Structure 1
Amino acid sequence: MKSFQNLKAFMQAPLQLMTDLEQGQKFVRTRLGPKSFVFVYDANYAREILVQASSKFPQNRMVFDRIQPLTGRKGLVQMEGEESKNTRMKMRTLFSKAPMADAQAITEQYTNDLVAELKKNPNVDIAKAMHNLILRTALKIFLDVDDPKMAHEIGDMFVELNELCGSRMRSLLPVPLIIPTKQTLRIKKLRQGIRSQIMDHLQKRTKTMHGQLVDVFADDPNLLDHCMTFIFAGHETTASSLAFTFLLLAKYPEYQKLIQQDSKMATLVYKESLRLFPPAYMLARQASADVQFGDFQINKSEQVIIALASIQQSEKYFAESKEFKPERFAEKSETQGFAFFPFGNGAKSCIGERLAYVEADVVINKICQQFTIKGAAEEIFADPMITLNARSGQVLCFT
């Protein structure tokens, strides 16, 4: 019965389960329902799995197949091996110097729009505000779409689809999408709604409307899936991490003043937010062979969960690990090199990491220069979906 209790806990509160299982160990083997899972709590072994031994630890299909409504079947997130490597090579141009300068300018423009709106309406649901802002930038950067209404509509659909797919991701036996239930029908409707809006744009685009992603994959049969992946991954994780950042800034207002005095402090604050509330709170893999790590063996076919959130909040790697201390990132340390990996590591790390830092630097600095942020509750609420999201309804006041 313990295995099914663990499964229920994993479905309802995965972060708490990861914390409860650890108890100072590097690896924990347990069963979630009928399947054997290995949770990894050691930063060095996590890096080995993701980098040196990555060929023996492909993505966990039990997880990744269930998020296809969000990423598409053939988007970059779903790819493995040479296919993934070749696609990532094509995408490098999206994150080179000139496109990043364009992305920064777009983010500045849209953040200025948000600043103007906040001056009129200072009380906002911070999660929703950040999702609307960053989705708008993603649509412009990748598809050359400047349509706030479209961003708002797609954003609402993405958030709901994220929640539904996140629930399926942690379920032992989710109902197949081909079987019509209230949940599966809703998932398919949301998926089709998002894809239809993107497809409408792709069909209407002219020679003067390109968008970086369209330029790179114009003749690729998987263009729509790439769009789904980049619009989801290109906005969702950044938006969530920025929402957490502003919730933390409201709770620790002294850092607002430090950002006003030194713009470089924004990056330190953002990194500390990523450490405490990593969007990719766990990384799922599956062993394709028996692999030995010291005196512990991960067996072929076992499900592997790298407990990223637990590693980043461990006293083994970060002093006062539960405390908000952005200054810990002021100087590079060996620990940061392997125990802080909010964008993953190795061949499947997030290709948009540089863009996330560019956008975050702009948004945090511009808003902190214009406002005092208030309204923080004692506790910041997070919802683990496919990624970790700031719970909606947490209202901040920008004055």
Structure 2
Amino acid sequence: MNIASVRRPIVPPTPPRAPDDMSFLGRLAVIRQNMIATWGQRAYEEEIIQGRLFLHKSFILNRPDAIRHVLLSNYENYSRTPAGIRMLRPVLGEGLLIAEGHDWTFQRRTLAPAFTPRATANLVPHMTAVLDETIAKLDAQTGEAVDLREVMQRMTLEIAGRTMFSFGMDRHGPTLRNFVVEYGERLGRAYLLDMVLPVSWPTPMDRARARFRKRWTAFVATLIAERRAAGKKDGAPPRDLFDLMDEARDPETGKGFSDAQLVDEVATMILAGHETTATALFWALYLLALDPDTQEEVASETRGEHLDAIADIDRQKFTRAVIDETMRLYPPAFLIARAARDRDNVAGVAVSRGDVIMIAPWLLHRHEKLWDQPNAFIPKRFMSTEAPDRFAYLPFGAGPRVCIGAPFAQAESVLALARLIGALRVELVDTTPVIPYGVVTTQPDHSPMFRITRR
């Protein structure tokens, strides 16, 4: 894509690129700290890079047609890797993000009605109420140094709680955040045995993850019990995601979710819903603080808008472009890894059973053959008539397993950014470069402080 820009765009900081000749052991040592830092210049220039991962070949795909084949045309031939299952199953169980085959088909069909645009529109009032409260609290901190990453985490967690259960997260929020931090700092990182052993062979970390899962599922079950105790009037329309999920039935079989399945689905939606959106909003605010002119464009677009309905959100074209560009530079899921179930041919390359296919949105979104000025922050590239290839831009994945909550997340992100920047001006107090690192999601290496002023 060729982008014409009047002023020079900002180029936010990134980790140093690894030497292309880095040894396997060297890369292995870096993986647990920052997967993003294991890729060298070749990965940003070449279409397919072949390597080895223990006993099997590995392939990094940067060709949209090859990615389309793996994620869409022949997606049933590719499953999650053992390491990926180990990282996700303790917190998501057998929920939609993990399930395979018939289990996945049942879950997807059953959940789909809860995530239609109409269902999302009914949840916007929950979002706006939390945003009003957040802006009021930030307004009271005018002129002070504020940790906006923490604010975004608390805000999106509150939105997740209210849209899921119709109650606030004042009591439960700190516990949930502690679970997230505990898992991310230690249990959510890949260790050597996690990558080498089959899933059926438990590693020492798997035992620790199993203990974590027992505590975590008990906590989620407590939230569900509290919501059920609040009840629902007979014949009343669904008021939140829990109502929609609890009443959901597979349109083909009429079957709903068991209590255990509901725990996993709720856990998936809360975690995927609040953590990735909080991170995306943090990066958007960071970029806008680095680029005051673009920040003013967002504020100008929101001026005079009510921003309390889906139709209002849809009118925020530039703000949506800022979110799209933020997720290009900082994709929530920086890596999609799949293992081949059987032999295949991908863009002329022979793939054997057990080979690992890596599709890295971090690389794909910054690939020098696919994007003009790939490392620069240029939101207007997403307002161009020359749209990026569908399989060159994967903030929510692609194919049948594309994120079911994408419309919800996009609406929440655009609404939140528009309202926040429409009301407040953000500036960086801390000038230390914020370096992204990849562990589960694309996180900042530290939380910089911002100064807030009222517009």
TM-score, normalised to structure 2, is 0.80
1:390 is matched with which residue? Answer: 444
Q: Is the 8 A contact 2:45 2:369 kept in 1?
A: no
RMSD value, Cα: 2.6
Distance in 1 between residues matched to 2:136 and 2:39, nearest whole Å = 42
Q: Is the 8 A contact 1:135 1:151 kept in 2?
A: yes
Amino acid at match of 1:77: L
Distance in 2 between residues matched to 1:55 and 1:176, nearest whole Å = 21
User: Are the structure 2 counterparts of residues 218 and 49 from structure 1 closer, same or farther at C-alpha, using a change threshold of 3 Å?
Assistant: closer
Residue 375 of structure 2 aligns to a residue in which SS? Answer: coil
Distance in 2 between residues matched to 1:20 and 1:328, nearest whole Å = 24
- 1:235 corresponds, among 274, 291, 295, to 274
1:267 is matched with which residue? Answer: 320
Alignment of 1:109-124 (within 5 A): 109-121=129-141, 122-124=144-146
CA deviations over 1:272-322 (Å, ceiling 9, x no partner) = 000000011110101112222343222221111112211111121211111
User: Are the structure 2 counterparts of residues 198 and 211 from structure 1 closer, same or farther at C-alpha, using a change threshold of 3 Å?
Assistant: farther
Distance in 2 between residues matched to 1:219 and 1:123, nearest whole Å = 47
Amino acid at match of 1:212: L
2:151 is matched with which residue? Answer: 129
Distance in 2 between residues matched to 1:218 and 1:301, nearest whole Å = 32
Q: Is the 8 A contact 2:35 2:439 kept in 1?
A: no
Alignment of 1:173-252 (within 5 A): 185=208, 187=209, 190-204=212-226, 205-206=228-229, 207-208=231-232, 211-216=243-248, 219-252=258-291
Q: Is the 8 A contact 2:54 2:196 kept in 1?
A: no
User: Are the structure 2 counterparts of residues 160 and 254 from structure 1 closer, same or farther at C-alpha, using a change threshold of 3 Å?
Assistant: farther
2:73 is matched with which residue? Answer: 52
User: Are the structure 2 counterparts of residues 153 and 397 from structure 1 closer, same or farther at C-alpha, using a change threshold of 3 Å?
Assistant: farther
Distance in 2 between residues matched to 1:127 and 1:392, nearest whole Å = 9
The more displaced of 75-84 and 318-327 is 75-84
Instruction: Tell me how far 1:20 sits from its aligned partner.
Output: 4.3
Instruction: Tell me how far 1:219 sits from its aligned partner.
Output: 4.0
Amino acid at match of 1:284: A
TM-score, normalised to structure 1, is 0.90
Q: Is the 8 A contact 2:156 2:274 kept in 1?
A: yes
The more displaced of 81-90 and 205-214 is 205-214
CA deviations over 1:366-387 (Å, ceiling 9, x no partner) = 1101111001636332231111
Distance in 2 between residues matched to 1:146 and 1:219, nearest whole Å = 25
Q: Is the 8 A contact 2:60 2:358 kept in 1?
A: yes
The more displaced of 247-256 and 214-223 is 214-223
Alignment of 1:266-345 (within 5 A): 266-345=319-398
1:4 is matched with which residue? Answer: 25
CA deviations over 1:122-162 (Å, ceiling 9, x no partner) = 53222221111111111221233322231233123213313
Instruction: Tell me how far 1:21 sits from its aligned partner.
Output: 4.9
- 2:47 corresponds, among 18, 26, 33, to 26
Q: Is the 8 A contact 1:127 1:390 kept in 2?
A: no
- 2:115 corresponds, among 85, 91, 95, to 95
- 2:164 corresponds, among 142, 147, 158, to 142
Q: Is the 8 A contact 1:70 1:162 kept in 2?
A: no
Instruction: Tell me how far 1:88 sits from its aligned partner.
Output: 1.0
Q: Is the 8 A contact 2:435 2:445 kept in 1?
A: yes
Does 2:95 match 1:75? yes
2:421 is matched with which residue? Answer: 368
Amino acid at match of 1:172: M
Unaligned runs of 5+ in 2: 1-21, 233-238, 249-255, 303-315
1:63 is matched with which residue? Answer: 84
Distance in 2 between residues matched to 1:139 and 1:117, nearest whole Å = 19
Q: Is the 8 A contact 1:275 1:340 kept in 2?
A: yes
1:258 is matched with which residue? Answer: 297
Distance in 2 between residues matched to 1:32 and 1:395, nearest whole Å = 40
CA deviations over 1:194-214 (Å, ceiling 9, x no partner) = 333321222232323854333
Name the structure with the higher helix share: 1
Does 2:385 match 1:346? no
Distance in 2 between residues matched to 1:355 and 1:157, nearest whole Å = 24
Distance in 1 between residues matched to 2:203 and 2:393, nearest whole Å = 41
Distance in 2 between residues matched to 1:341 and 1:43, nearest whole Å = 10
Distance in 2 between residues matched to 1:228 and 1:169, nearest whole Å = 24
User: Are the structure 2 counterparts of residues 33 and 125 from structure 1 closer, same or farther at C-alpha, using a change threshold of 3 Å?
Assistant: farther
Larger radius of gyration: 2
Amino acid at match of 2:351: I
Instruction: Tell me how far 1:324 sits from its aligned partner.
Output: 0.2
Does 2:124 match 1:104? yes
Does 2:409 match 1:356? yes
Distance in 2 between residues matched to 1:21 and 1:81, nearest whole Å = 35
Instruction: Tell me how far 1:193 sits from its aligned partner.
Output: 4.2
CA deviations over 1:171-211 (Å, ceiling 9, x no partner) = 53599997777x964x5565444333321222232323854
User: Are the structure 2 counterparts of residues 42 and 152 from structure 1 closer, same or farther at C-alpha, using a change threshold of 3 Å?
Assistant: same
Distance in 2 between residues matched to 1:149 and 1:7, nearest whole Å = 40
